[in-house]
């Protein structure tokens, strides 16, 4: 089912103007994870905004979730179904949206002809296709919610968990099992959402069960990231992150408004209308604190410390097995933050396999580390027991794992084949006929 054709006069509606995304009346009476409405995706799922991905099915599901302030909200998630799917296996894949603008949400940018400005996020279809070719159902939530609350971890974690709840209630149209094996995977901004989901699961969604979670390039401390990336090539993430928190927390928005230098405030706020690539280019090399009256001391104000304190990971020990991979040279989030978080998890009795990569950086590990992460996820989905306790290995490169390297090569080849319109999923004569 390649999907509906898109004529030259049709455009994919932005979430802010598409009435399907709007919260229905009576939202507060719905339970977290309840399906509010659903539909087949309006336009085909496409790789890099152009090449249609031939799926058995793809659905958008609007569901009830809870924001960081405890308020009900409606969020969107996208469920992808391959040919020859195994309804007993579900992967929740959190895309690194890394934007404070709804035009960068996964449910929007995964559709053909949506936007050419979200290439980094759209590239993650490669890893999603790898999971689909295993026959897994894959769901990818708009975990930032309707306010585009980038780096708002509580929002992201709860929206991720409620997305899974919603998918488990979708069997009438998706065909998924009511009790599938469920795993999570995310890198960078997607790791942040995944990490918050696993820490919140015990209190927010205790009925859910997971076989494991793979987390790459994790973000342990938002405040440390802001200081690490300042004046560097990725400082645009700082502007986007601060405005994502501006969108989520009214008291923090008031604080930033008081701190903005009037002459440059609108330049800073431009991230509210653009995706990751544009923001990165725009702010590259700048001193992000030059936009504030207090300079770097803007991070020391009580409202800033309040929000950062709430958003530091390491508040709850996850109950599921974890595979964590991180570059020692990560130029966005310090390796020490990952080391400290893993140490906290291990002291709390979690099962963690931790790989510290010597030669990669934050960007390259997204690809070079994916093969071994997928190998680990496949083992969990197939019912193999993870290693007990914790292990930490510092390796030259996760790419040197033969099994992971072979799987990564297969993944890239399958992605290229998928660009030709070949059905995505475990091969059979039926799908090729």
Note the pLDDT tens digit of each residue in 233-252.
Answer: 999 999 999 999 999 999 99
Q: Is the pLDDT of residue 417 over 80?
A: no
- The topology under which CATH files domain 222-310 is 434 Repressor (Amino-terminal Domain) (1.10.260)
The model's pLDDT over 39-54, given as tens digits with 9 standing for 90+, comes to: 999 999 988 777 888 9
Is position 397 annotated as part of the catalytic site? no
Q: Which residue has the higher pLDDT, 403 or 349?
A: 349
Architecture, CATH, for domain 19-220+313-432: 3-Layer(aba) Sandwich (3.40)
Exposure b/e, 174-184, CB count within 10 A at least 16 = b: bebeeebbbbb
Active-site option among 67, 98, 114, 362: 362
State the Cα–Cα distance between residues 48 and 129, nearest whole angstrom: 13
Residue 301 burial (C-beta neighbours within 10 Å; 0-12, 13-18, 19+): middle
Query: Domain coordinates of the chain in residue numbers?
Result: 19-220+313-432, 222-310
* Tokens 């969604």, residue located: 205
Beta-strand (E) ranges in 4-135? 35-40, 46-47, 51-52, 57-66, 72-81, 86-94
Arithmetic mean of pLDDT, 188-217: 98
**pLDDT level of residue 209 (50, 70, 90 thresholds):** very high
Is position 337 annotated as part of the catalytic site? no
**Nearest to residue 38, comparing CAs of 23, 22, 57, 59?**
59
**Nearest to residue 120, comparing CAs of 49, 208, 54?**
49
Confidence (pLDDT) at 388? 87
Active-site option among 149, 163, 188, 279: 188
CB 284 within 8 A of CB 331: no
**pLDDT level of residue 8 (50, 70, 90 thresholds):** very low
Any idea which of 195-199, 220-224, 422-426 has the lowest mean pLDDT? 422-426
Is position 148 annotated as part of the catalytic site? no
Backbone angles phi, psi at 151, to 5 degrees: 65, 10
Arithmetic mean of pLDDT, 303-327: 97
The model's pLDDT over 84-115, given as tens digits with 9 standing for 90+, comes to: 999 999 999 999 999 999 999 999 989 987 67
Confidence (pLDDT) at 422? 86
Confidence (pLDDT) at 433? 45
Active-site option among 67, 98, 162, 330: 330
State the Cα–Cα distance between residues 291 and 43, nearest whole angstrom: 40
19-220+313-432 and 222-310 share one fold: no
Confidence (pLDDT) at 265? 98
Q: Return left, alpha or beta for 389; rule: phi > 0 is left, psi -120 to 50 is alpha, else beta.
A: left
The model's pLDDT over 392-402, given as tens digits with 9 standing for 90+, comes to: 999 998 877 77
DSSP class per residue in 103-116 = GG-HHHHTBTTS-S
DSSP state of 184: E
């Amino acid at each position: 089912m390649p999907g509906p054709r898109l004529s030259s006069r049709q455009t994919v509606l932005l979430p802010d103007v598409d009435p399907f995304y709007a919260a229905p009346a009576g939202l507060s009476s719905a339970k977290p994870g309840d399906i509010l409405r659903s539909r087949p995706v309006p336009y085909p799922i496409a790789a890099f905004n152009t090449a249609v991905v031939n799926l058995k099915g793809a659905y958008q599901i609007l569901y009830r979730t809870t924001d960081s302030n405890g308020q009900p909200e409606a969020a969107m998630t996208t469920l992808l179904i391959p040919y020859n799917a195994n309804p007993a296996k579900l992967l929740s894949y959190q895309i690194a949206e890394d934007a404070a603008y709804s035009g960068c949400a996964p449910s929007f940018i995964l559709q053909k002809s949506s936007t050419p400005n979200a290439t980094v996020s759209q590239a993650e279809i490669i890893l999603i296709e790898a999971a689909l070719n295993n026959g897994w159902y894959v769901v990818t939530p708009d975990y930032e919610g309707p306010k585009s609350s980038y780096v708002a971890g509580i929002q992201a974690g709860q929206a991720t968990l409620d997305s899974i709840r919603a998918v488990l209630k979708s069997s009438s149209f998706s065909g998924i099992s009511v009790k599938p094996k469920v795993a999570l995977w995310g890198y960078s901004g997607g790791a942040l959402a995944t990490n918050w989901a696993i820490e919140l699961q015990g209190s927010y969604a205790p009925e859910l069960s997971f076989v494991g979670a793979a987390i790459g390039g994790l973000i342990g401390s938002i405040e440390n990231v802001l200081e690490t990336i300042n004046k560097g090539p990725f400082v645009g993430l700082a502007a986007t992150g601060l405005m994502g928190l501006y969108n989520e927390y009214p008291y923090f928005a008031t604080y930033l408004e008081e701190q903005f230098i009037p002459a440059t405030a609108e330049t800073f706020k431009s991230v509210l209308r653009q995706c990751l690539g544009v923001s990165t280019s725009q702010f590259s090399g700048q001193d992000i604190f030059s936009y504030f009256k207090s300079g770097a001391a803007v991070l020391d104000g009580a409202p800033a410390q309040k929000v950062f304190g709430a958003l530091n990971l390491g508040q709850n020990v996850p109950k599921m097995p974890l595979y964590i991979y991180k570059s020692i040279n990560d130029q966005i989030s310090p390796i020490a933050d990952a080391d400290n978080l893993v140490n906290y998890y291990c002291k709390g009795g979690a099962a963690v396999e931790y790989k510290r990569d010597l030669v990669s950086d934050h960007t390259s590990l997204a690809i070079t580390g994916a093969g071994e992460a997928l190998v680990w996820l496949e083992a969990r989905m197939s019912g193999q027991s993870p290693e007990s306790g914790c292990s930490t290995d510092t390796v030259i490169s996760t790419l040197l794992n033969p099994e992971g390297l072979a799987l990564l090569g297969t993944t890239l080849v399958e992605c290229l084949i998928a660009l030709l319109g070949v059905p995505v999923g475990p091969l059979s004569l039926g799908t090729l006929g």
